[in-house]
Homo-oligomer: A and B are copies of this chain.
Amino acid sequence: MKWKVGDSAQLTAVVDDQRIRNFAVAVEDLNPIHLDDEAAMKSIFGRRVAHGMISASFISAILGTRLPGPGSILLGQSFKYIAPVYVDDIVTASVTVTAIRDDKPILTLDTKAVNQHGQTVLTGEATVLFRELDDWRERQS
């Protein structure tokens, strides 16, 4: 295991209108609160907000590409949605290793996302099984 408790990684992205619309189509989520100014004005937020799952998916993106990275298999995730993400907000998602099992290559990570004001928008936890891609191949051959 090349990772240790305390290791962390992050990803920053602008959640602009195009990203929200692309996500909406990709996952069939055409909720008007994300896409329609007039409907969104009636909501508690008073304007359009991004899908919470966009920020959540940034976390999965880090897990799959950076820490632990390719070869990861997501076992479970939890999310608490703390605050809305508005159109054009800049979200920084991050993951930090909190535990690694002795008996299996399974990591637990604290996960969160903050906006450009430093406000936490999402917190959670992830459990990931990790082996390098090349190690998977050796086990199969």
Please give the residue numbers on chain A whose beta carbons come within 8 Å of chain B beta carbons, in ascending order: 11, 13, 19, 22-23, 25-34, 39, 42-44, 46, 51-54, 56-58, 60-61, 64-65, 70-81, 131, 133-134, 136-137, 139-140
Contact = CB atoms under 8 A, between A and B. Distances in A.
Query: Which has the most chain B C-beta neighbours within 10 Å: A71, A72, A134?
Result: A71
Number of copies: 2
A58 B51 CA distance: 12
B133 A39 contact: yes
Contacts of A53: 53, 56-57, 60
25 contacts: A22-B25, A26-B26, A27-B58, A27-B60, A27-B61, A29-B57, A29-B58, A29-B61, A29-B64, A29-B65, A30-B65, A31-B64, A31-B72, A39-B133, A42-B133, A42-B134, A44-B73, A51-B64, A52-B74, A53-B56, A53-B60, A73-B81, A76-B78, A76-B80, A77-B78
